[in-house]
Structure 1
Amino acid sequence: MTSKPVPGEAPGKTRPHHGSVANKLNWLRAAVLGANDGIVSTAGIVIGVAAATAERGPVLTAGIAGLAAGALSMAVGEYVSVSTQRDTERALLDTEGRELKSQPDDELNELTALYEARGLSAQTARQAAVELTAYDPLAAHAEIELRIDPKQLTNPWLAAMSSAVSFTIGALLPLVAILLPPASTRIGVTVAVVLLALAMTGWVAARLGGAKPLRPILRVTVGGALAMAITFAIGHLVGVTIG
């Protein structure tokens, strides 16, 4: 999808969607983090319960309950967070719109100064400010002054659904891994599956962030291993004490 050419551009040339690309990367990072949360939290639950009992029923019940609670919690938290951000952005855009109507000259001077601060000459900065303001005044000022694209505001419902889905996908991995093998090997199989999945999410997160993958992979796998070890110890202790 391409954008309309702005005044002064040659026909056929369009502006790159830098904001759109950044938003997509942020969505991907959020999805990876949501899946990572689902993997670690559900693995901790099912391994803890499996350490306390050899029966599949309690493990399945705890795993499904943890998956549902985690997905709903992620969805509600993301909805509230994004809604608050969206309300703040709308308020800032409303304020900017009023200022453009009440003091257009001051706003034009401010935009010119911002372009000069980015390295443009005074004449070029003024010309850019004038032409962009004439084309779309709110977008021109909001993108530079507020770093907000009025046409790219995040949808809180979509954010909530994405978080819930990514958490659920991540949570299903340890849940399935602990239910399929026999009781004697299910914890070991689950640990292996979880560590492999965490290594993959760490690699993807590193690639999206442009970082070297080794440190993120070690960080997330060590953290997941510690979480599983602690919940296993707690589950085993409770199982021995109660049993």
Structure 2
Amino acid sequence: MPHHEMHFLQRSGWLRASVLGANDGIISTASLLMGVAAAGADNSALLVTGVAGLVAGALSMATGEYVSVSSQTDIEQADLAREARELQDNPDSELRELTGIYIARGLSPDLAQQVAQALSHHDSLAAHARDELGLHEVNQAQPLQAALASALAFASGATLPLLTAWLAPHAQVQSWLIFSTLPFLGLLGAVAARAGGASVCKGVSRIVIWGALAMAATALIGHWFGVHA
């Protein structure tokens, strides 16, 4: 039976975009609502602010991810095209370069040359893309996937503080935002850490600390403008 392994690296593309989107959706929307609530806004203003923040943030995340990952894809494609030209114009030189890479990784010169010749005969461009450029289908950039994952994750994350602001008594909206947002941020950090094979404690602590700081900062700014309005 063939042996198959599932590595955490295979999740890096969608996991990064999803965690970043959800994290930003929760923190930015909750912080925005905290600041507006601290300034003395009424329920209608809070809800309009939250919905506007959700839509603008989701579209911004999608655009940013698409542009960023598309730029990465353009660089990868340009490098592959350059490597293809080198293979066509200087195949012997490229074979020596690939052999040198395998020697540097610990193979004997004879074995390195045999491996380089075999892989070049099978698919020379793929061999150079993987071993010279470090490109592999597992970590290949996917602009549309990253954009959609970021937008959906942001909207999902932003929904929590928005619903909290809608359901909470107006006088207690800030307290409700704190006690609903921070535990959910901790849960998100734990899930992301487990999915990525990282430390759960580190994943929870860093996301909760930075989320609390962001909410505190916007609350202070909102309070200051509300007092001095």
Tell me if both proteins adopt one fold, taking TM over 0.5 as the criterion: yes
Gaps of 5+ in 2: none
Contact 1:74 1:160 in 2 (8 A): yes
Matched, 1:122 2:115: no
Contact 2:30/2:161 (CA < 8 Å) preserved in 1? yes
Change (3 A) 1:216 1:24: closer
Contact between 2:13 and 2:139, CA under 8 Å: does it hold in 1? no
Once residues 198 and 113 of structure 2 are traced to their aligned partners in structure 1, the CA distance between those partners, rounded to angstroms, is: 38
> Quick one: distance in 1 between partners of 2:138 and 2:200?
34
Q: Deviations over 1:121-145 (max 9, x none)?
A: 2222111111111111110111000
Name the CA shift for 1:61/1:163 in 2 (closer, same or farther; >3 Å). same
1:53 to 40, 61, 71: 40
Matched, 1:205 2:200: no
C-alpha separation between the residues in 2 aligned to 1:127 and 1:176? Answer: 63
Question: Which segments of 5 or more consecutive residues in structure 1 lack a partner in the other structure?
Answer: 1-11
Match of 1:41 among 6, 28, 43: 28
SS in 2 for 1:146: coil
Partner residue, 1:165: 152
Q: Does 1:86 align with 2:73?
A: yes
TM-score (norm 2): 0.90
Residue 228 (structure 2) pairs with residue 233 (structure 1): no
Structure 1 residues 220, 17: CA separation in 2 closer, same or farther (over 3 Å shift)? closer
1:228 shift after superposition: 1.1
Map residues 104-183 of structure 1 onto 2, 5 A cutoff: 104-149=91-136, 153-183=140-170
Q: Could you report, residue by residue, the CA deviation over 1:97-121 in whole angstroms, capped at 9, with x for unpaired residues?
A: 0111111111111111111111112
**71 and 209 in structure 1: CA distance in 2 versus 1, 3 angstrom threshold:** same
The answer to whether the 8 A contact 1:177-1:193 is kept is yes
Paired residues of 1:139 and 1:150 also in contact (CA < 8 A): no
Bigger drift between 135-144 and 46-55 goes to 46-55
CA separation in 1, counterparts of 2:73 and 2:194? 28
Counterpart in 2 of 1:186? Answer: 173
Residue 70 of structure 1: CA displacement?
1.1
Pair 1:216-2:208 in alignment: no
| 3-state secondary structure, aligned to 1:185 | helix
Instruction: For CA contacts below 8 A with separation 6 or more, give which structure has more relative contact order.
Output: 2
Distance 1:35 1:14 in 2: 34
Asked if the contact 2:14–2:145 (Cα under 8 Å) also holds between the matched residues in 1, the reply is: no
What does residue 63 of structure 2 align with?
A: 76
Partner Cα separation in structure 1 for residue 44 and residue 204 of structure 2: 33
Do residues 27 (structure 1) and 27 (structure 2) align? no
Aligned partners of 2:140 and 2:209: how far apart in 1? 36
Q: How far apart are the structure 2 equivalents of 1:236 and 1:152?
A: 45
